[in-house]
Each structure stands twice: as C-alpha cells, then as structure tokens.
Structure 1
Amino acid sequence: MKTSLLKIKEFLTGLVDYLVVTSFVVFVCGVFVFFIFDIGVLNATTENRNLKSLPVLPRSFLQLQKYTKEYTAYFDDHVPYRNQITAFYNKSLMNIFKISGSDKVLLGEQGWLYFNGNDGKSFDEYLGKDILTKKQIELLETYLIDVNEMLRAQGRSFVVSIAPKKETIYPEYLPDGYSRGSKTKMDQVVSILKDKKILFTDLRPQLIAGKKEQQLYYKTDTHWNQHGGYIQYSSVMKDLGLLAQPAEYFKIHNLPEQVSGDLASKMLGRDDIRENWETLGFSSAVIVDPDPQADNGFSAENINAPYKKNVFVFGDSFSRVLTSLMAESFREVRFEWAYDVNYDLVKSSNPDFVVLEFAEGKVSALIDSIAKNTETVPSMVIGVRETNNVSWRFDEFVEDDDVLKINGWAHINKKSSEKSLISVVLSSDTTNYLIPTMPIRRTDVTTHFSSLNFDDSGFSINLKKKNLQKGIYSIAVYINKKGIIALQYTDKIVTVN
C-alpha cells in the first residue's frame, strides 16, 4: 500500500514539475515568437513616450558598438507584455507588502497615493527639510510687490492663489513617520503675501474644513477634484470683490466610468486602480483651444456671463478646474501655462483681472523662473542715434552697487503713446545696451497734458548691474511706435564697477 502511494506521489510530483517546466518554455518561446513577428506588443499604447526603433544593421566595428546598445534598448522596449509584467509586479508589492513600486509615489492608507516628486524627494518640503533661503524669499517678495504695483498702476486687479499639496490637506492617510515640519515653503510664501497685502486667501483652512463634507482630492491623482477646485474659485472671486456662482449651478457629478489618476499610472505603469471622477454638468462658455496669443494655453468666451470683464490666469495643472469655473463668471477667460506673469500677454490681451496660480509643490519652480528672467542680459545695440523728439520724466531713479531701478514715463512729441514699446538705453564709449521695460498705465500723464492719449507712456525697470560690462553709462529713452523710432538722452548716468 505504501509503495503504491509513493509511486502515485512521485508521479504527481513529476507531472507538476513537467507542467511547470513546459509552461515556462511555452511562455518564453511565445514571447520570442511574438517579438519576432511583432504580435501583441502593447507598450506603445501604455507609455507616454516614443519607443526605441529598430536600429540599422552595422557596417563597421565602430557602428557595431553603437548598434549593440541601440538594439538592447530596442529589445527592452519591445518585449511583449513588459508593461503587463511590470504592472503585475508593482501591484503585488502594493497588495501584499503595502509598498509602492515607484520612488515617485508614496502609498498611503486606504488607497491614498501621494506624489513624491520625479526625484523621490518631494516630501522633504512637507517634512520641513527643504525650505526657502533668505535670498529666495527676498527675490520672491520683490517680484510679487513689483507685479502687484505694476498691474495696479495699469488699473488691473492682481490675485495670487496657491493650490496646497494633497498631504497638506489629507495627512491622516500618510504612512507612519511622515509628520509635517514646523515650517514649510508654503508657510513662508503665505507670510510674504499677507505682509505685503497682496490679494490672497490661504486655502488650507477652507479645504481642511470642507473635506469633512465631501472628498476634495482624488485618491489616485495629484490634483483636487471639482469640489476642491470650487473652493479655490469661490476664494478668488471673493478676493476680487465679486460673487461666485453657487456650487449647485455647475451640477458637479461623477463620470459614468471610473478613471485612474496620474499617480496610479506612475506607480503601476498602467491604469489598474480606478475611482469616481468628477465633471461639470453645465457650461455655457465656448472654449477656444489653443489661444492664438498664448504659447501653451487656451481662452474661453461666454456672452452670458454675469461679469462683462476679462481675466487672465497664469498657472499650472491645478488651474484647469479654476479656469473652467471662472468661464461661467466672466466674458472672457484666458489661460497660459506659466510659473510667472507674462507682461507681453497682459498688454496684448488687456485683462481687467490677472490671477497667478501655482501649486504648493511648484514654489521653487516659480522662483527659478523669476531668477531666470531677472538674470537676462540686456541686448547690445549698435549705431544708436539721438532724435531729440521725446518728452520724458523719471519719477524714481535709484542706483546702488547692485541694482538700477527706474520708474517714469515717456512719449514721442506730438504723438500719442498708444502701441508704443518703451526701452531704456545705456550707452558708454564702448558698449550700448537696449533694456526692455515693464509697461505701466499712466492716466495721470494724459490728464496733465490734456491733449493726446498718453495712458501707455509709463514704464519701469529693475536691472541687476552685474549683467553689464564695467563702465560709465549715459541713460537714454528709446521708443518704438509701430516702426517709428525715437531716442532721447537724459541727464542721468550710471556707473558699473
């Protein structure tokens, strides 16, 4: 009896081993058959990048070395079901070991996912390990003050709105060991905005209170949902002194099918974790996409809007909800994906309101963009000749070892300032610089002269002298009015040591 049982056991063990080995061989052979005949390759539809193409056969030993690397990359990209296998592996890590298969995503409790940055260090900001330096604070403070003053001088309202990170509003689902630091970058920015009395509302208290009523951020995505975006919209409208449309107006509801957010895709490599996704049930605005005046944006028009005003939003991906909601309140809404205000777009579109929106995690990107723009070296111009037909005045002229700051107005004699581009020229014995200025609306100049329209005659510059060659420079005003060029030297000089 025992002998029979042993034989049966040996037979079953051998059968299992045979089936396992056979299945493995069939799978491996199938992979290569699919690869050779290009069957079932699903990678191209699930990755947001161009896959490597088959390299050309080498014709020399040097080409052979390059070919080996290129073919390896091609093979890695086109192995059938690579994405599916990767997704299965990452999903096993999530379900069995409760860890994320990607450094970019932090797996929280109850299915909540958090973005950890492309470098896997985003949470250093939340933990208070990565805060703004004194120099960064000064740069941001100067920029926000200058933008606010310039837009107010032009008769426009300027509002700043910051979208908090998900972990700032939903810290209760974070894994153990992730506690908010005593000071974060957002705390520092909020302090600047409040001290300088720039139109701004800290959304954190409203969002924390609002989450008790309903979910405001997606579990599987970086962003908030329509209800979270509505809190931002109503806050911006309040800052502008206007009434927001009631939440019921938009008929927010879930899409028929569930959707997988960007964090789920980053963690698993495919859209395997889905959740309810909100959308608007009513919209009377007409979207114009893309906006011909914006490089990376769109505009919306609404003839039925309660406010016959125009608004320009400079922002990031969090602005998508804001702009769609604001389109129900304003005659025209323009959006440009940017981390700072584009003065040329403001001047050309002439909005009544300007909104600068950025995510809490993009504070450093905003400062980097500001630093890049302020570090721009002025362009050199050759053969500048004085025309002696410009009226001008410097209301403010401040020079120290590092910075030259000028605020004033200028216009071509006997011509209005409409469609005039004003620059400042610095001229030495060896070098001339042409420096673009920020436009400032000056209705007071029009009133003073009571002849032509000089509303666009105002200007301002804030120039770092380290970008200039050493020397003593005379200062001139340069105006280009639809091809009419005028240049007038002033009695001011600037010294660069």
Structure 2
Amino acid sequence: MQENTDAQPGVERRSLTRALNRIAAMAIFFGLLLLPIAWFGRASFAPHTNENRRLEAFPHLSIHWAQDFERWFSDRYGMRDALVYYGSRLQMARTGLPMNQQVVVGRDNWLFYDENYTPGHLHFASLYGEDSFLPSDLQIIADNLSRVRKHLAACHIPFYLVIAPDKQTVYPEKLQMPPPSGATTQADQLDAYLHTADPQLRIIDLRKPEIAAKTAQSQELYYRTDTHWNELGAFFGYQAIAKRLVHDGVLADAVGTRLDSYRIRTTPSAGGDIAVNLLDLPGYFPDHAVQLDNTQPRQAHDISLPGWPPNINNSFRITENPAASGSLLLYRDSFFDALTPFVAEDFHRIYSFLGRGIDGNRVRQAHPNAVMLEIVERGLRHLVDRPANLASACE
C-alpha cells in the first residue's frame, strides 16, 4: 500500500503556521504587557492628565514597600496619559456613561459630581430626601458651631456660617431624574436644627439667593462641566453675603454689589474640573465661562506677612486693600475662590484658610472684625470636626 506522501508537507506547513501564530500572539500579548515598562518616563502622544490629586511619592523602605511601589508605579507607567485619555473617550462613545462612578451626565450634557456616592445606591441621595443626618450628627455640628460663636462673642467678634449650594440644588432640572418637590435635604435638616438649637448663630444660606438669581437671569450661574459656580453665580453669592454684613454693621458699605458695575462676558471653555480632572475629557463636552469685567480697577492684592504661612497651592492667602478698613478671618473651600475678588474689595485685609478647622490661635493673631466659615452643601458632614484652641481666641 502506497503512503500519501504529498499530504505530509501540507500538514507540516499548517502545523508550523499554527505554531508561529501562537508564538506571535503570545509575543504581542506580552509585548503589550511590557509596553508600559518599556515606555516608562517617556512622553505620551496624548494630552497630559489633569487629575485633581497628588501623585504617590516614591516609597521609603518599609514592610509595605511593595504595595507603596505599586501605587507609585500606577501613577507613572508608560503611556498612562494615552490609555486614560482614549479609554475615557471609548467608554463614553460605547456606553454614554463616564468611567468615574461619582460623575453623572445630566440633560444637555451637564455634568454633576457626587463625592458622597456609594455604589449600588442613589446618586445625590440627600437631594431626594434620603441619606439624612443622624440626630447625633446634628447635635455634634450644632455644639461645634455654638462653641465657636460663644467664644468669639466673648471677643466681640461675630461668627458667620456660609452655605454654598451644590450645582444640582440650583439646577435640579438638568438631572436625568429631577428630585421630587418638597424633599428634605441635609442642608434643610441642618438649617432647621441650628435655628432651634442656637438662634443666635448667624447663617448665610446662599441656596435661595442663587435659585432666585437663576430665575431672573438669562445667563447660567454654574459651569456645565464643573462643580463650581461661574463668576456671575459667585457675584450673587457675594451680594447676599455683603448685604448681611452691612446689615449687621460689620461693613459700613459694600462697593461691588451692583451688577451694572460689571460687563458680562461669555467665552468658550474646554471644560471644568469634572470634565478635565475627574474624567480626563477636555473639550469633549461643550461649555462656556461667564465672566464679569469690573468697570473700576480692583485695588485688593495678595501680600505676605511675617508669622503667617506662605501661600502654597492656595491653601492660605492674605489679601489686602489699602483703601478699605476692617479684617476678615476666613475658613473656606474652593467655592470661595470666585468670591474672593468681590469680598476682598470690602476689607482692608482677609486672612483666608483652605479648610474648616477654625483655630483660636489664628483668631488671636488676626484680631479680625469677623470670622467666617464657608462650606459647600455636599461637605456639611465635615462640620462634625471639632474646632481647636477656642479658649485662646481672646488672649
């Protein structure tokens, strides 16, 4: 019987082809795995990521060195910017949902940020009447604020709590599922509790002024792709603050409360902190900045003084206006950044700390005419943090 020798070369060629294909596939697979290492330290062919956080520092020797090194390497592996940049776009194009679960895409491509989101639960639970304060939390917050007020009152210094509204509070209609009317939020809870627990506490709640301004204005008060208000929204916040300070005699007058003193200007924007810092999608969502140009030159400017910390990453700054009088000790979050140019014109000096930790030693050092704590609505839970050194405020 004669063997079919002609078929053997064909079988061998197919076997060789399959083997080469397997080797090529493995080489490509392991090559892709090694690419971030091979590209380590080189420039990417995508825009640099603008994450709103500090990168991990190179670890010191410890028993957790391997874990710390992994976090350090994850912040710097080769082609990371390109993978994040194009991965974010692919995710939006494929699903319409952002990679960051704390971000919500609303109507008309408005972006919202929920820093308190828990996977599996409702976004912005407080806005829908859920995730309420516990009675114990309300009592702790009220006790903290009352202690501040009483110690400062002993120094004849008025204390103000300023609540800046979240974007979804002012523009709930831009959410895909607007909240029901009449839902009690955390801010509603806290406001009602504080008025009962300490009627002398001075609260400037900016939610109503901003909502009223939104109704009266054709221009938007918040960026569409940012967590913050724009300059027009900040102006109406300033207007409400200045009105209260003048009423209480802290200010004799407020120089910039008339909107007709400014020229409103709208310019295109590549995106705010949600689009750029949280999603790495600059230019993906249309947005614009609403800016106010003052018809009179501003006189306030930043200064440094001995005995006060340097201005690092905007964590502390001293602003001075030689033409004004009085001083303000301010504890704030990033929402006050847009307010500062307005408020700074009304005080000779503002001592501004980024944070909520009111410190009696700083009160004694500044000798201010007023102390103000500004906090954005979504951060109200942080008011459970205790103030420090209040007994030394008047020493």
TM-score range relative to shorter protein: 0.7 to 0.9
Q: How far did 1:147 drift?
A: 2.0
Contact in 1 for aligned 2:328/2:368 (Cα 8 Å) = yes
1:310 alignment partner in structure 2: 327
> 2:360 is matched with which residue?
343
Pick from 79, 86, 90 the counterpart of residue 88 of structure 1: 86
Change (3 A) 1:193 1:322: farther
Shift of residue 216, structure 1, vs aligned partner: 0.8
User: Is residue 156 of structure 1 aligned with residue 167 of structure 2?
Assistant: no
What is the TM-score when the length of structure 2 is the normalising length? 0.74
- Give the match for residue 402 of structure 1: none
Q: From 98, 105, 114, give the equivalent of 1:100.
A: 98
The alpha-carbon deviation at position 209 of structure 1 amounts to 1.9
Determine helix, strand or coil for the equivalent of 2:147.
helix
Contact 2:163–2:205 (Cα < 8 Å) also in 1: yes
Amino acid in the other structure paired with 1:272: G
Report the residue type matching 2:355 in the other structure.
A
- The 5-angstrom pairing of residues 278-317 of structure 1 reads 278-279=290-291, 281=293, 282-288=297-303, 292-294=307-309, 296-305=315-324, 308-317=325-334
Matched position secondary structure for 1:325: helix
Q: Is the 8 A contact 1:44 1:51 kept in 2?
A: no
Q: Cα distance, 1:55 vs. partner?
A: 12
Shift in alpha-carbon separation, 1:335–1:131, aligned structure 2, 3 A = same
Equivalent in the alignment of 2:240 = 235
Counterpart of 2:132 in 1: which secondary structure? coil
**Radius of gyration: which is bigger?**
1
Segments of 5+ residues of structure 2 without an aligned counterpart are 1-23
CA distance in 2, matches of 1:94, 1:438: 53
- Structure 1: which 5+ runs fail to align? 1-20, 57-62, 375-435, 442-455, 457-497
Q: 2:341 aligns with which of 306, 320, 324?
A: 324
Report the Cα offset of residue 177 of structure 1. Answer: 7.0
In structure 2, the partner of 1:145 is 146
CA distance in 2, matches of 1:52, 1:209: 46
1:186 matches 2:187: yes
Deviation at 1:220, TM superposition (A): 0.8
Closer, same or farther: CA 90–290 of 1 in aligned 2, 3 Å: farther
Indicate the residue corresponding to 1:117 in structure 2. Answer: 115
Distance (Å, rounded) in 2 between the aligned partners of 1:278 and 1:169: 16
2:376 is aligned, of 359, 380, 383, to 359
Q: Which residue of 1 aligns with 2:5?
A: none
Q: Provide the C-alpha distance between the structure 2 equivalents of 1:193 and 1:68, rounded to a whole number of angstroms.
A: 45
> Which of the numbers 382, 391, 395 marks the counterpart of 1:438?
391
Letter in 2 for 1:199: R
- Are 1:224 and 2:235 an aligned pair? no
DSSP-derived class of the 2:339 partner: helix
Question: In the superposition, relative to structure 1, how do residues 178 and 283 fare at CA in structure 2: closer, same or farther (>3 Å)?
Answer: same
Counting only pairs closer than 5 Å after superposition, residues 26-105 of structure 1 correspond to structure 2 as 32=35, 35-36=38-39, 39-41=42-44, 45-46=48-49, 47=51, 48-50=53-55, 74=73, 77-80=76-79, 82-95=80-93, 97-105=95-103
Task: Tell me, in whole angstroms, the C-alpha distance in 2 between the residues paired with 1:141 and 1:91.
Answer: 45
Matched, 1:209 2:212: yes
Query: Identity, % of aligned pairs?
Result: 24
Counterpart Cα distance in 1 of 2:70 and 2:211: 52
User: Does the 8 A contact of 1:203 with 1:232 survive in 2?
Assistant: yes
Q: Structure 2 vs 1, CA of residues 37 and 285 (structure 1 numbering), >3 Å: closer, same or farther?
A: closer
Shift of 1:439: 4.3
Q: Secondary structure at the match of 1:114?
A: strand
Deviations 1:223-262 (A, max 9, x none): 111111112211111111244312344545446x624211
Q: How far apart are residue 105 of structure 1 and its match?
A: 0.7
Rounded Cα–Cα distance in structure 2 between residues aligned with 1:38 and 1:438: 52
- The verdict on how the C-alpha distance between 1:350 and 1:437 changes in structure 2, with shifts beyond 3 A counting, is closer
Q: 1:221 deviation in Å?
A: 0.8
Q: SS of the residue aligned with 2:340?
A: helix
Per-residue CA distance 1:385-443 (angstroms, 9 max, x = gap): xxxxxxxxxxxxxxxxxxxxxxxxxxxxxxxxxxxxxxxxxxxxxxxxxxx661476xx
CA distance in 2, matches of 1:300, 1:55: 39
Q: Which of structures 1 and 2 has the larger relative contact order (alpha carbons within 8 angstroms, sep 6+)?
A: 2
For residue 200 of structure 1, give the secondary structure of its aligned residue in structure 2. strand
Is the CA contact 2:128–2:180 (under 8 Å) kept in the aligned structure 1?
yes
Change (3 A) 1:201 1:119: closer
Question: Residue 333 of structure 1: CA displacement?
Answer: 1.2
Tell me which protein shows more strand as a share of its residues. 1
TM-score (structure 1 length as normaliser): 0.60
Between the aligned partners of 1:75 and 1:135, the Cα distance in structure 2 is 40
Q: Distance in 2 between matches of 1:232 and 1:336?
A: 19
Amino acid at match of 1:438: A
Q: Which amino acid aligns with 2:73?
A: Y
1:265 aligns with 2:276: yes
Question: What CA distance in whole angstroms lies between the structure 2 residues aligned with 1:69 and 1:201?
Answer: 44
2-structure distance, mates of 1:277, 1:311: 29
| Alignment-derived partner of residue 16 in structure 1 | none
Q: Is the 1:159–1:236 Cα contact (8 Å) retained in structure 2? A: no
CA pair 199-183 structure 1, distance change in 2 beyond 3 A:
same
Deviant stretches of 4+, over 6 Å: 51-56, 66-69
Q: Secondary structure at the match of 2:287?
A: coil
Indicate the SS of the match to 1:277: strand
The answer to whether the Cα contact below 8 Å between 2:88 and 2:281 also exists between their aligned partners in 1 is: no
For these two proteins, the number of residue pairs brought into alignment is 345
1:277 equivalent in alignment to 2:289 = yes
Query: Which amino acid in structure 2 is aligned with residue 107 of structure 1?
Result: V
1:333 to 1:52, Cα distance in 2 relative to 1, 3 A: closer
Distance 1:68 1:165, change over 3 A: closer
Alpha-carbon distance, 1:204 to partner = 1.8
Contact 1:159 1:198 in 2 (8 A): yes
